[in-house]
Amino acid sequence: MGSPLASLDRLLPMLLTLFAVTSIFSAVILVRAALVKPHIGALVERAILAVLLAVFGVIYSIVALNTELGRILFSSEAARVLVRVMVIIVLGVPTYWNYLLLTGRLGGRE
């Protein structure tokens, strides 16, 4: 019988894969709901965040599993660049929304 840490180490790759797949399905459901008219601002924002977080989660999961499997898909440098680009994109969303707010184009103001 292995240690609890070894059991957790075997369970984590399965959890990464499971949550990556379910996050994609959740994002698709949110996007479909957000496209229904009339548009609800909060739902649209949640759909945008769901898509970004799902993409980030999938890429990070691929990088993590790639590291575990001996870097068969990406080199260390490529994995590092992918994760950094996704972090910049995710962090850019609030900045973009702030830009829209300051220029008067957020919230349907006329």
pLDDT in tens, 26-52: 999 999 998 988 878 888 888 988 999
Band of residue 10 on the pLDDT scale cut at 50, 70, 90: confident
Print the domain residue range for 53. Answer: 4-102
**25 burial class (0-12, 13-18, 19+ CB within 10 angstroms)?**
exposed
Report if residue 110 sits inside a domain: no
What torsion do the CA atoms of 85, 81, 65, 21 make, to the nearest 10 degrees?
Answer: 20
Report if residue 91 sits inside a domain: yes
Report if residue 107 sits inside a domain: no
Band of residue 72 on the pLDDT scale cut at 50, 70, 90: confident
Report if residue 83 sits inside a domain: yes
**Number of domains observed in the structure of the chain:** 1
Token pair belonging to 88: 């910049």
